[in-house]
Amino acid sequence: MKLGVLSDIHGNRVALAAVLSDMPAVDGLVCAGDVVGYNPWHADCVDAMRGESAGLPEGVPWPTEAVPTVMGNHDRAVAGETPFAFNGMAQAGVEHATEQLSDEQLAWLADLPDERRVCDDRVKLVHGHPDDPDHYTYPDEFGPDLLGDEDVLVMGHTHHQHHEVYDDGIVMNPGSVGQPRDNDFRAAYSVLDLDEMTVDDRRVKYDTDAVIEAVEDAGLPRNIGFRLVKGR
């Protein structure tokens, strides 16, 4: 069984469309959180993860059913209260998403769990860390001690793509679809093969100029768009 693994879409419909168009054949998708924030297409990205493709641009293989997703810190902030401290760019994205999303879309975000298991509990999804959803778990913290009884632990939050294979299983972060921060501007995602227990980390180019223009048209801080060019 193969899974397309996404995280940190952050309202970037252009990057998400590029990822879905690039993705090889998989048996399903999962998402490690932060569907919204920063970029201006929060509603479209929420609808994509909800499997509601009506109204989304044609020609993209949008999900036709709901994608198992966990709550990221931006998702939590948009859905309600959060103790997470946001900088100016992040706060602007949260406010923009809150204004843009419908009550139904906000309710979907609010119902997202901090942890989710899929594929007969073989895959565990969290956003930041198994013990703290807001902790940035960078690759130097990866280790088999992060694994519980699952075969694969999927984390997001850092926007750094990385995976490690251990005797006890796999610890992975697919990187960020919508705002990579590992010095590679290309949208990041991974394909997890549960039969072979392998991870294919993938990157795909997308039209960052279109995102920069949309960010400015939405009145969001300009650096939200410009930082995409350098992947940071």
Tell me: the pLDDT tens digits for 195-206? 999 999 999 999
**DSSP string computed for 93-129:** HHHHHHHHS-HHHHHHHHT--S-EEETTTTEEE-SS-
Question: Residue 147 domain-assigned?
Answer: no
- pLDDT at residue 81 in the model: 67
User: What is the C-alpha to C-alpha distance for residues 114 and 102, in angstroms, rounded to an integer?
Assistant: 22
Comparing CA positions, the residue from 196, 191, 83, 181 lying closest to residue 139 is: 181
pTM to 2 decimals? 0.95
- pLDDT at residue 147 in the model: 98
Question: Residue 149 domain-assigned?
Answer: no
How many separate domains does the chain show? 1
Tell me: the pLDDT tens digits for 97-143? 889 999 999 999 999 999 999 999 999 999 999 999 999 999 999 99
Domain that holds residue 63: 2-117+174-229
Answer whether 30's CB lies under 8 Å from 68's CB. yes
Question: Residue 205 domain-assigned?
Answer: yes
Question: Residue 54 domain-assigned?
Answer: yes
Q: Which CATH number fits the domain that encloses residue 202? A: 3.60.21.10
**CA-to-CA separations, 31 to 35, 99, 221, in angstroms, rounded:** 8, 23, 26
Tell me: the pLDDT tens digits for 162-212? 999 999 999 999 999 999 999 999 999 999 999 999 999 999 999 999 999
